[in-house]
Homo-oligomer: A and B are copies of this chain.
């Protein structure tokens, strides 16, 4: 099968590039079929290399390749939320979401399979890996909020938003990747602002976080733009104040 390989120049890849190429091919196959229905020949063919080459990189065979592929996807996802602690929070969150959504866009069915677990990949392990990513993402966000000892309300707010982002990503894949990524990103950032602002009404720690975050925002930033669009909609509701 290697004679029909669509990657003529594959010998030039570095060890790391090759490993990563094999993991990508494996992840995409495991996303579409149950692990027992994926052979190393399939992985070799998808990557355009020989079977012995796959074994050279993964001497433990399919099980090793399978676990490494899941692990690699999880690590890549976790890295999406690593962002220097500078500038307005909404900008940092927007950049993190750009990376996260690019991952969703690229891995597509593999992402759905990873998140939905069960029917395609082994469940308990998948669940543990995905939960690890969620925990890491929540920790990144709490770090950016500069909260050292987050209370239950703030933790719940952040975890709810992360779940909502996952749901939005799955829906986005379901709906032929509409709306465009930029718009989805801005919308998710705005949802985070809204969810945090509502939480501030009930929790002093969240209120302090919101005040500190707002002080860093500029009028041409995400919060200003959101406020200018939402205030007119709420304008008729003065009777509620």
Q: Known interface pairs A200-B233, A217-B237. Does A178 touch B152 (Cβ–Cβ under 8 Å)?
A: yes
User: Residue A79 at the B interface, CB < 8 A?
Assistant: no
Contacts of A207 in B (CB 8 A): 233
Complexed CA–CA distance, A218 and B234 (Å) = 14
**Nearest CB in chain B to that of A189: its residue:** B198
CB of A171, distance to nearest CB on chain B (Å):
5
Per assembly, the copies of the chain total 2
A114-138: contact bitstring with B at CB < 8 Å (1 yes, 0 no)? 0011110001100100000000000
Verify B159–A167 contact, CB threshold 8 A: yes
Q: Does A50 contact B (CB under 8 A)?
A: no
Contact, CB under 8 Å: A227 / B240: yes
In the bound complex, residues from chain B placing their C-beta under 8 Å from that of A155 are 171
Known: A118-B127, A201-B190. Is A168-B160 also a contact (CB below 8 A)?
yes
Alpha-carbon distance A171/B158, docked complex (angstroms): 11
Neighbouring B residues of A195 by C-beta, 8 Å = 191, 194-195
Query: Chain A's interface: helix, strand, loop or mixed, by majority?
Result: helix
Which among A162, A194, A241 has the greatest number of chain B C-beta atoms within 10 A? A194
Q: Is A102 in contact with chain B by the CB < 8 A criterion?
A: no
Residues in chain B near residue A123, CB distance under 8 A: 117-119, 123
Contact partner, A202, options B118, B164, B190, B224, Cβ 8 Å: B190
Decide: A191 near B236, CB < 8 A? Known: A118-B117, A226-B198, A241-B228: no
Say yes or no for A229: interface residue by CB 8 A criterion: yes
Contacts of A237 in B (CB 8 A): 214, 217, 223, 227
- Kindly name the residue among A168, A198, A207 whose own CB sees the greatest number of chain B CB atoms within 10 A: A198
Q: Check A197 against B234 for contact (C-beta < 8 Å).
A: yes
Q: Which of B119, B161, B229, B231 contacts A124 (CB 8 A)?
A: B119
